Amino acid sequence: MDSLNIEATKYSPAVRFEPEKRVLQISGESYPENTMEFYAPVFDYLKEYLALPEAPPLTVNVDLIYFNSSSSKILINLFDLLDGAAKEGRDVAINWFYESDDEDNLEFGEEFAEDLEYVQFHLVEKEM
Amino acid sequence: MLADLYDFKAGLNRQNVIFCFFGPISQVLIAEIGDILKKKMMLGEASKSVGSRVFSILVEQVQNIIRYSDEKYPVDNSVYEVDQLSVGIIAVGLEGAYCTVISGNRVENGKTGELRNKLEKLLGMNKDELKAYYKEQRRIGPGEGSKGAGLGLIEMARKSAEPLMFNIRRVDEKYSFFTIKALV
């Protein structure tokens, strides 16, 4: 598979996937005008990756400084997709990064974790 | 206009407004407003979480104006990639121990009933109920005529330290003016 590389803007995150490392990295700010349109290629890419017959493992790092409510909805859809793959036995992990003084972002991570059943969900405190 | 502008400024000062914008709003402008706000907030003694909650509410309010304002301003498609921008007002101010985020925009009279119902439902909820409702709405598809996730108002209610305040004022046969205020 090709790699995925979306550059960050002031209101949309950088999204990178390098197949050799098997890590999808989403980082920056997320409040694009049309959230669904922005994330559509990410979903397409992940669906293709998850359908690979050799079933490689996957780690998703989410390191967002700020995201709006529409992005929150997209994230739960994304995590549901990963949760479904994990349910079928795929080795999938999500790392949710937050800064130690950002209680709200920690709470967001906890709320996502509560809503997911199979995928490994790690809350990762960032070094300040 | 020349003479009135001072009165307008004095009025904003009296109400401790630290930032105010009126006009057609584009997505790019949100990032600009956010930058201004971050700098202004850093000058004060606001904690990081207060700053991020204010920014969060501001983004939801501005994106609601972009999506739902019934006042449009025609613009050059080659510059903005759209034919029109939504018009609204947004202000950030101080009120006692709180930071306030307030916005307003025109709404067609026919849409005010549903808006009022949505808000009154949220006003009746405590934090736990808001959290449960947020999670429920996050999983279901956006409502008819909704261009976003429909979560913005719930997000604002959750981030606000006090229940949201709103006002819907009938302007004429066709339009009302909708104002919403959150305290952080």
Q: Is B33:B19 a contact under the CB 8 Å cutoff?
A: yes
Structure tokens at A111: 């709320």
Which residues of chain A does B140 touch, with a Cβ-Cβ cutoff of 8 Å?
A: none
Q: Which of A18-22, A24-28, A73-77, B106-110 has the lowest mean pLDDT?
A: A18-22
| Long-range contacts at A3-10 (CB < 8 A, ≥ 24 apart) | A4/A41, A4/A42, A4/A45, A6/A41, A6/A42, A10/B28, A10/B31
DSSP string, A39-63: HHHHHHHHHHHHT-TT---EEEEEE
Residue B36: pLDDT band with limits 50, 70, 90: confident
CB–CB contact A10 B139 (8 Å): no
Q: Is A24:A85 a contact under the CB 8 Å cutoff?
A: no
Give the closest of B28, B53, B135 to A104, CB-based.
B53
Structure tokens at A55: 């079933």
CA distance A80 to A67: 18
Please tell me the pTM assigned to this model. Answer: 0.90
Angle at A11 between CA A7 and CA A17, to 5 degrees: 30
Give A20-67 pLDDT, tens digit per residue.
899 999 999 999 988 999 999 999 999 999 999 998 999 999 999 999
Whether residue B64 is predicted with pLDDT greater than 60 in this model: the reply is yes
Which residues of chain A does B58 touch, with a Cβ-Cβ cutoff of 8 Å?
A: none
CB–CB contact B135 A111 (8 Å): yes
Average pLDDT, chain A: 94
CB–CB contact B151 A10 (8 Å): no
CB–CB contact B31 A68 (8 Å): no
Which residues of chain A does B155 touch, with a Cβ-Cβ cutoff of 8 Å?
A: 68-69, 72
Predicted ipTM of the assembly:
0.91
CB atoms within 10 A of CB A39: 24
For residue A93, CA distances in Å to A24, A41, A58, B85 come to 10, 20, 6, 41
Give the closest of A11, A70, A103 to B31, CB-based.
A11
Chain B residue with minimum CA distance to A65: B52
Average pLDDT, chain B: 88
Burial B101-115 (b: 16+ CB within 10 A, else e): bbbbbbbeeebbeeb
Which residues of chain A does B56 touch, with a Cβ-Cβ cutoff of 8 Å?
A: 66, 68, 104
Q: What's the pLDDT score for residue B38?
A: 74
Structure tokens at A35: 């959230």
Comparing B144 with B29, which gets the higher pLDDT? Answer: B29
CB atoms within 10 A of CB B182: 27
Whether residue A2 is predicted with pLDDT greater than 60 in this model: the reply is yes
Using the Cβ of A120 and the Cβ atoms of chain B, whether some distance falls under 8 Å is answered with no
Chain B residue with minimum CA distance to A75: B138
Share of chain B above pLDDT 90, in %: 65
pLDDT average, residue stretch A57-83 = 95
